[in-house]
Amino acid sequence: MFNPSFVITNKILTHISKIEAAEEVIRHAPLLPLWERQFREDAVIRAAYHGTHLEGNKLQKDEAKDVLLGKDVIGRPRDIQEVINYRKVIEYIDDEAKKNIDKITEPLIKKLHRYIVSSILPVDQAGEYRLKQVIIRNSQTGEVTFRPPPAIEVPFLMREFLYWFNRLEKDEMHPLLKAGITHHEIVRIHPFIDGNGRVARVFATLILMLGGYDIRRFFSLEEYYDRDAVTYYENLQKASAGDLTSWLEYFTFGAAVEFEKIKEKILKLSKDAKLKERFGGQQIFLTERQVKIIEYIQEVGYLQNQSFMTLFTDVSEDTVLRDIQDLVKKSLIKKVGSTKAARYVMV
């Protein structure tokens, strides 16, 4: 019977506290609709790029972004397909999270795999447990670093894991711990012939979303792992010896880093307390150019007329001025001075 072994350390508690504090700020920040859309799109791009780059995808981040925008990209067909598939599986778990499902089933996990390996693996291997032994080698040395359980054990191990998972009461275990344990166990069992790491990461994200940690789907844990892939795989491998404590410390730390990064960016853009007070918690609507103007002022401290053409190369000065006057009218920025040297600053 599956029964994960770990100790809830002070490190884990500290990381979870930081995550919860950041999540609270993110959830209640009066974000503008356009910003919210941009945050989501950025998270999808980061997840698709880093989630596939971790496993050898050769596309650069800009190329992955172009693929997701439907542009033509020169690259290996498999690399392009992996990025497309990752976006589709993210859209799928978004839909599943909205349904607020209360059980995780084998068909659901197999469907995740089918999305991830669509047009990459043969149809008879997509969404089906592996039928042969696989080994994990160090990409640099060729040394065998991990030997997953025999194929014959996979169905039993998956059912034991899901039995344990679905028996947990809602408040019996923190969603971050459940997500971390899930991530590791899928990698350890290695149920599929290929795509296991991607399944594990997407599955863990779904667990977080179902546990209330969707934070408007702004986060991408994949980026943290990809920044230091060696440490990521070392922590997974270490946990396979039986004790998940250090892995959960690593997992919760990574989530804390990502949530904190999003929180700081949101606070910078939304000026949380001021905007909330000014608009009574109501959302306001800005154009993409107006968002860029505010971002520039927050970055530089002010905006002057002579900077208009640097900021916007494809629109007239009159158009930019109209955007600025609307921002002044909304009391988001104000004009200091009355000559050509006048500056626009945040209120």
Q: What does the pLDDT look like over 16-58, one tens digit per residue? A: 999 999 998 888 777 666 677 888 899 999 999 999 999 999 9
What domains appear along the chain, each with residue ranges and CATH number? 10-270 (1.10.3290.10), 286-346 (1.10.10.10)
List, in order, residues 6 or more apart from 190 with CB less than 8 Å away: 130, 134, 136, 148, 149, 154, 196
Q: Angle at CA 126, nearest 5°, toward 121 and 132?
A: 85
What tokens appear for 21 in the block? 């504090």
**Burial grade of 167 (CB within 10 A; 0-12, 13-18, 19 or more):** exposed
Sheet holding 303-304, edge to edge: 303-304, 343-346, 333-336
Of 253, 220, 208, residue with least CA distance to 235:
253
Q: Contact, 174 vs 252, CB < 8 A? A: no
Of 146, 195, 174, 189, residue with least CA distance to 248:
174
Residue type, 130: R
Q: How confident is the model at residue 273 (pLDDT cuts 50, 70, 90)?
A: very low
The pLDDT value given to residue 338: 76
The pLDDT value given to residue 272: 43
Alpha-carbon span 226 to 163, nearest angstrom: 31
Tokens 């504090």 sit on residue: 21
Phi, psi dihedral angles at 334 (to 5 degrees): -140, 160
> Is 90 exceeded by the pLDDT of residue 301?
no
The pLDDT value given to residue 140: 59
